[in-house]
Structure 1
Amino acid sequence: MSKKVVEVKTLKVGKYVILDGEASKVTSLSTSSPGKHGAAKARLEAVGIFDNQKRSIVKPVDTKIDIPIIDKRVGQVLALMGSEVQLMDMESYETFELPIPDDLKDKIVEGVEVDYILALGNKKIMRTK
């Protein structure tokens, strides 16, 4: 697993974070001011990249949190197989199968290049070129 450790206060909306062992994209981030005897808290809401589940946590702003290393790659569609597609990575020439996202069903055809991401051992097609 490729990940990095940062403090919660350095996160911004649109960045990625690991919540419950799943790579997630931050959708909202709010901080409360410190109280008389306490530290400032951050409320973080995120949506999973691969499972689209909402997750939220509340932590002190100086707490360490894991962020995933997102690897963006390019692949070429070799074959359509029902709801899955066979892709070939354009750098390593490795072939593998991925499910076709609902919003790209009509755009993916054989021979087209797609951008996909690799994070925490999972892969997902993001867009066509």
Structure 2
Amino acid sequence: MSTKVVEIKTLKVGKYIVLGGEASKITSLTTSSPGKHGAAKARLEAVGIFDNQKRSIVKPVDTKVDIPIIDKRVGQVLSIQGNNVQLMDMENYDTLDLPMPEELKDQITEGIEVDYIVALGNMKIMRTK
């Protein structure tokens, strides 16, 4: 697992965070002002990149959290077998079998290049080139 540790107050909407062991994209982040005897709190909502589940946490703003190191790569589609796509990475020429995303089903054909991401040991096709 390649992660980095940061404080919640440095995060922004659109960035990534590890919640429940899954890489998630932050959809909303609100902070409340500190009370007389308390610290400021942050309410964070995020959607999982790979499983599309909503997750939320409420923590003090100085709490340290993990953020995933996301590697964006380019691959060429070698073949399509049902709902799986066989890709060849354009940098190191590894072949990978990834599930085909529903929203890209009609756009992916053999021979085209696609962008995919690698985070926390999981991979997902993001878009076609």
TM range (shorter): over 0.9
Alpha-carbon distance in structure 2 between the residues aligned to 1:6 and 1:97: 33
Structure 1 stretches of 5 or more lacking a match? none
Letter in 2 for 1:118: V
Counterpart in the other structure of 2:46: 46
TM-score w.r.t. the length of structure 2 is: 0.99
Alpha-carbon distance in structure 2 between the residues aligned to 1:20 and 1:121: 15
- Displacement after TM superposition at 1:87 (Å): 0.3
- Displacement after TM superposition at 1:117 (Å): 0.2
Q: What is the total number of aligned residue pairs between the two structures?
A: 129
Counterpart in the other structure of 1:122: 122
Counterpart check, 1:113 vs 2:89: no
Identical-pair percentage: 81
TM-score w.r.t. the length of structure 1 is: 0.99
Three-state SS of the structure 1 residue aligned to 2:92 is coil
Letter in 2 for 1:36: K
Alpha-carbon distance in structure 2 between the residues aligned to 1:107 and 1:18: 30
Alpha-carbon distance in structure 2 between the residues aligned to 1:96 and 1:27: 30
Three-state SS of the structure 1 residue aligned to 2:103 is helix
Structure 2 stretches of 5 or more lacking a match? none
Letter in 1 for 2:123: K
Alpha-carbon distance in structure 2 between the residues aligned to 1:68 and 1:101: 22
Counterpart in the other structure of 2:32: 32
Counterpart in the other structure of 1:63: 63
- Displacement after TM superposition at 1:26 (Å): 0.1
Counterpart in the other structure of 1:97: 97
Three-state SS of the structure 2 residue aligned to 1:103 is helix
Alpha-carbon distance in structure 2 between the residues aligned to 1:85 and 1:71: 19
Alpha-carbon distance in structure 2 between the residues aligned to 1:45 and 1:8: 12
Three-state SS of the structure 2 residue aligned to 1:93 is coil
Alpha-carbon distance in structure 1 between the residues aligned to 2:64 and 2:58: 12
